[in-house]
Amino acid sequence: MDPGRARFADSSHEFARYLHGLKKRGSNLLVTGNVPDDVTVRATQTLFGQGSRRYRVLALLDATNRIPESLSIDEDHLWVVNRAGEERSVPASASNTVSVDDPCDLDSVRREIATAAEFYDDRFGELGPSELRVGVDLGAEEDLESIERFLDETAKIVVEHRGMAHYHLPKPDDDPLVDALSPLFDARIELRQEPGQPPEQRWHVPAFGKTTIWVRL
């Protein structure tokens, strides 16, 4: 994970140490902002990171055009769960998969994320810290209880494999649903794009009770 130039106004070192800790032990991040798809894709690409030992699982609500251009659906290092039941992409060497037939079935999505994590762990050797990267679309209309249950169970899978997951909720950062879900995450990344300006991000970090300054995404 690379937060770009994001930093606390009074201490960039403190923020860097916190991020390093998240990468070592595993983490779950909430991404907020009702922003265009290309902004969300850029954030996903940044959070998915670079390197040959990055095993990425992307759970989309709809179209595969949300896949960052730097990734290929034909490679073994990307597993796409399309919650609409179309255009799924599973590594050719994966023999045990779970189909997602109901786009609202978060439990099916969670099971497939677990299957993908186990596959990568077995296929490429025990996963090291932050090698598993998971990105999930959260539907803005899904009920709070279902989302909370899904997040609680999925977070355990991610931390078990010392991975890093981000979950995009297409809501403004001050939305009541964001407030309700925030305690379930290690940090929150807020996205915005002002008219005529490049997209930006800032991090909200409850462990410090602080927010980073706005920086270019």
Backbone angles phi, psi at 60, to 5 degrees: -100, 150
CB crowding 15-27: b at 16 or more within 10 Å, else e: beebbeebbeebb
Q: Evaluate whether 87 touches 80 at the Cβ level (below 8 Å).
A: yes
Answer whether residue 84 shows pLDDT above 80: no
What the block records as the tokens of 22 is 């998240």
Specify the range with the lowest mean pLDDT, choosing from 92-96, 131-135, 142-146, 153-157: 92-96
Answer whether residue 133 shows pLDDT above 70: yes
Average of pLDDT values for 97-112?
70
Q: What is the pLDDT of residues 151-195, one digit of tens each?
A: 999 999 999 999 999 999 999 999 999 999 999 999 999 999 999
Higher pLDDT, 73 or 22: 22
Positive or negative CA dihedral for 119, 121, 124, 130?
A: positive
Round the average pLDDT of the chain to a whole number and report it: 83
Of 177, 176, 172, 163, give the one whose Cα is nearest residue 27: 163
Q: Evaluate whether 110 touches 25 at the Cβ level (below 8 Å).
A: no
Q: What is the 3-state secondary structure (H, E, C) of 160-184?
A: HCCCEEEEEECCCCCCHHHHHHHHH
Higher pLDDT, 129 or 19: 129
Q: Is residue 6 part of a domain?
A: no
Q: Evaluate whether 28 touches 152 at the Cβ level (below 8 Å).
A: no
What pLDDT shows up at residue 64? 57
What pLDDT shows up at residue 1? 47
Q: Evaluate whether 19 touches 1 at the Cβ level (below 8 Å).
A: yes
Q: Is residue 126 part of a domain?
A: yes
Q: Is residue 50 part of a domain?
A: yes
Task: Tell me the CB-side half-sphere exposure of residue 18, using CA atoms within 13 A.
Answer: 21
Of 41, 13, 32, give the one whose Cα is nearest residue 202: 32
Q: Is residue 5 part of a domain?
A: no
The three-class DSSP label of residue 111 is helix
Q: Evaluate whether 144 touches 180 at the Cβ level (below 8 Å).
A: yes
Q: Is residue 2 part of a domain?
A: no
What pLDDT shows up at residue 108? 84
Other beta carbons within 10 angstroms of residue 134's beta carbon come to 27
Other beta carbons within 10 angstroms of residue 135's beta carbon come to 27
| Domain containing residue 211 | 12-216
Q: Is residue 7 part of a domain?
A: no
Q: Is residue 154 part of a domain?
A: yes
Domains in the chain, number? 1
Higher pLDDT, 33 or 52: 33
**What CATH number does residue 74 fall under?**
3.40.50.300
